[in-house]
């Protein structure tokens, strides 16, 4: 894969995320857990905003998609029917010399642990084993006895919770085909080679939607969802120049068509999948019918016929989109008239964790009181920070670095005439606004973004 024209900002982001409370390594005080991450105070807000934007676009703003929150633990037969027990495998090779473990089908993306300039198997001392199939599902036991009969899996995708509830949702809501079911939830995969921060982890969140359609109409729905999902990525601020479609060269056994939406993460990582759009045919409902013995047919009343619907799936990782949003937003720039440049997270205002920060220019003349009162008022409408420590320049820089779109300063003039300055993160333009108009002003600016 050719290197990206965008710079590699991953190391700087990892450090910013830790310093500012976006993302921490899991169990850090014990040396960390491999490729598992915790979202700090700002990270949890950012990821929640990403999920809220998705839920709004996919469920609340539509009358043809219903929401669902299915359990992580499911009947073990679900994973036999879905094909995961037999087929959710990656080929694994070990190196007897360096003890490294690699995906046999992705050796070109891996580095020998002793000779990082070579790929595994290419250095003289490498001793790779034969590839063996490794199932990516995490197994655990239900109940107090650890025996084969009590094996359950942590779900590797949320989709199956939707398939098995297809008729529950359809009959309780009286939806007519075509309609969809959407869900956000945790998924787990025992990845052989996780990495690149929160890009590939063993515990992650998916936002999936299955759209049930009449067979024969699937190609049209597939095209619709391909375009609709790209529009959503644009709407949360991902740069169109960093997004592209990629058709799957090899289709999974159940798929009739599949496209990824890829984002350019910069550096050598370059374009990588953030979302998959799949035409899954009637494979999943058909298999669950077969394995459960229960009919999963839709009754088309006007035409008096029953059929198993086809499914168009949109499947996107909440963590991967969060990472894409961070990479997309990170920039370092010079500030006119200042020696030190600034680091900015130019997050789209709709997903920025904090929408506004309020400062008092000095700690006297009633400025802190007025600023605190204004911050409390704004906090009722959206997440708002109050900061009175350090120079005003430092306070602006701190907010730039965490991506706060607006900074409001109470200064000497404010206590005299009741106005404050509102500074735009991106243009650095400062408007003077009456303090009692700030909320309306921000509402307008945030909704226009
Ligand atoms: N139900 C279909 C499905 O799960 P997938 O392509 O395996 O399809 C969909 O996964 C999305 O889930 C990916 O595009 C990615 O955003 C996210 N994803 C998958 N594995 C992941 C992992 N190990 N870490 C983080 N996100 C992951």
309-323 pLDDT, tens digit each: 999 999 999 999 999
Contact 439, 379 (CB under 8 A): no
Is any atom of ligand 1 closer than 6 Å to the C-beta of 154?
A: no
Expressed in angstroms and rounded, the spacing between residue 83 Cα and the centre of ligand 1 is 16
Contact 134, 128 (CB under 8 A): no
pLDDT value of position 1: 59
Is any atom of ligand 1 closer than 6 Å to the C-beta of 349?
A: no
Expressed in angstroms and rounded, the spacing between residue 150 Cα and the centre of ligand 1 is 27
Residue nearest to atom 4 of ligand 1 (CA): 157
Expressed in angstroms and rounded, the spacing between residue 258 Cα and the centre of ligand 1 is 14
Q: Which two tokens stand for residue 242?
A: 């960093």
Q: Give the Cα separation of 111 and 187 in Å (integer).
A: 28
pLDDT value of position 117: 87
Q: Which two tokens stand for residue 235?
A: 């709407």
Q: What is the pLDDT of residues 153-172, one digit of tens each?
A: 999 999 999 999 999 999 99
Contact 77, 292 (CB under 8 A): yes
Ligand 1 atom at minimal distance to the Cα of residue 317: 16
Expressed in angstroms and rounded, the spacing between residue 376 Cα and the centre of ligand 1 is 40
Ligand 1 atom at minimal distance to the Cα of residue 156: 4
pLDDT value of position 448: 82
Q: Which two tokens stand for residue 88?
A: 């959710």
Contact 410, 378 (CB under 8 A): no
DSSP, residue by residue, 85-139: HHH-EEEEEEBTTT--EEEGGGGGG---SS-TTS-TT-STT--BPPPEEEE--EE
Expressed in angstroms and rounded, the spacing between residue 423 Cα and the centre of ligand 1 is 39
| E strand or H helix that includes residue 24 | strand 23-25
Is any atom of ligand 1 closer than 6 Å to the C-beta of 233?
A: no
User: Three-state SS for 150?
Assistant: helix
Is any atom of ligand 1 closer than 6 Å to the C-beta of 276?
A: yes
Residue 353's Cβ-count burial label (10 Å; 0-12, 13-18, 19+) is buried
Sign of torsion, CA 51 54 57 60?
A: negative
Contact 375, 386 (CB under 8 A): yes
Residue nearest to atom 20 of ligand 1 (CA): 200
Expressed in angstroms and rounded, the spacing between residue 447 Cα and the centre of ligand 1 is 31
Question: Which residues of the chain are modeled with pLDDT < 70?
Answer: 1-2
pLDDT value of position 339: 83
Residue 429's Cβ-count burial label (10 Å; 0-12, 13-18, 19+) is exposed
Is any atom of ligand 1 closer than 6 Å to the C-beta of 191?
A: yes
Q: Give the Cα separation of 88 and 152 in Å (integer).
A: 15
pTM of the complete model: 0.95
Expressed in angstroms and rounded, the spacing between residue 317 Cα and the centre of ligand 1 is 6
Is any atom of ligand 1 closer than 6 Å to the C-beta of 315?
A: yes
Residue nearest to atom 22 of ligand 1 (CA): 200
Q: Which two tokens stand for residue 374?
A: 């204004």
Expressed in angstroms and rounded, the spacing between residue 274 Cα and the centre of ligand 1 is 8
Contact 38, 26 (CB under 8 A): yes
Is any atom of ligand 1 closer than 6 Å to the C-beta of 248?
A: no
Question: For 399, which DSSP code?
Answer: H
Contact 260, 313 (CB under 8 A): no
pLDDT value of position 92: 92
Contact 407, 393 (CB under 8 A): no
For ligand 1, pick from 36, 155, 180, 206 the residue to mutate: most ligand atoms within 8 Å of CB.
Answer: 206
Q: Give the Cα separation of 396 and 88 in Å (integer).
A: 49
Residue nearest to atom 12 of ligand 1 (CA): 317
Q: Helices (H) and strands (E) in the chain — how many of each?
A: 13, 23
pLDDT value of position 317: 98
Expressed in angstroms and rounded, the spacing between residue 185 Cα and the centre of ligand 1 is 12
Rg (alpha carbons) of the chain, rounded to whole number: 25
Q: Give the Cα separation of 447 and 449 in Å (integer).
A: 6
pLDDT value of position 217: 98
């Amino acid at each position: 894969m050719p290197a990206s024209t965008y710079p590699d900002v991953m190391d700087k982001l990892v450090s910013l995320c830790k310093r500012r409370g976006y993302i921490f390594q899991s169990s850090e005080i014990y040396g960390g857990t491999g490729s598992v991450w915790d979202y700090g105070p700002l990270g949890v807000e950012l990821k929640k905003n990403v999920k809220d934007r998705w839920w709004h676009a996919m469920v609340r703003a539509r009358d043809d998609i219903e929401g669902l929150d299915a359990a992580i633990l499911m009947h073990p037969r679900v994973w036999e029917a879905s094909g995961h027990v037999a087929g959710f495998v990656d080929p694994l090779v070990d190196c007897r010399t360096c003890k490294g473990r690699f995906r046999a089908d992705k050796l070109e993306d891996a580095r020998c642990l002793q000779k990082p300039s070579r790929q595994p198997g290419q250095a003289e001392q490498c001793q790779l084993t034969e590839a063996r199939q490794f199932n990516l599902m995490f197994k655990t036991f239900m109940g107090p006895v650890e025996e084969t009969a009590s094996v359950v899996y942590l779900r590797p995708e949320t989709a199956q919770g939707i398939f098995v509830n297809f008729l529950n949702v359809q009959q309780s809501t009286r939806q007519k085909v075509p309609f969809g079911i959407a869900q956000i939830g945790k998924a787990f995969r025992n990845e052989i080679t996780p990495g690149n921060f929160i890009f590939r982890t063993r515990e992650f969140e998916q936002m999936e939607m299955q759209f049930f359609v009449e067979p024969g109409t699937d190609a049209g729905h597939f095209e619709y969802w391909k375009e609709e999902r790209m529009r959503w990525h644009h709407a949360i601020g991902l740069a169109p120049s960093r997004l592209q479609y990629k058709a799957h060269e090899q289709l999974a056994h159940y798929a009739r068509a599949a496209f990824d939406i890829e984002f350019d993460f910069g550096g050598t990582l370059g374009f990588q999948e953030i979302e998959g759009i799949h035409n899954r045919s009637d494979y999943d409902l058909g298999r669950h019918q077969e394995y459960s013995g229960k009919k999963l047919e839709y009754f088309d009343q006007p035409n008096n016929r029953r059929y198993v619907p086809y499914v168009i799936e949109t499947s996107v990782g909440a963590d991967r989109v969060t990472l894409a949003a961070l990479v997309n937003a990170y920039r370092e720039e010079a500030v006119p008239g200042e020696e030190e440049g600034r680091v900015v997270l130019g997050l789209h205002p709709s997903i920025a964790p904090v929408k506004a920060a309020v400062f008092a220019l000095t700690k006297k003349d009633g400025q802190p009181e007025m600023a605190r009162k204004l911050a409390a008022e704004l906090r009722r409408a959206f997440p708002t920070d109050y900061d009175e420590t350090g120079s005003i320049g430092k306070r602006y820089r701190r907010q730039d670095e965490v991506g706060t779109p607006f900074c409001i300063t109470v200064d000497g003039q404010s206590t005299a005439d009741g106005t404050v300055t509102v500074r735009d993160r991106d243009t650095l333009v400062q408007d003077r606004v009456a303090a009692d108009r700030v909320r309306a002003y921000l509402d307008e600016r945030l909704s226009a973004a």
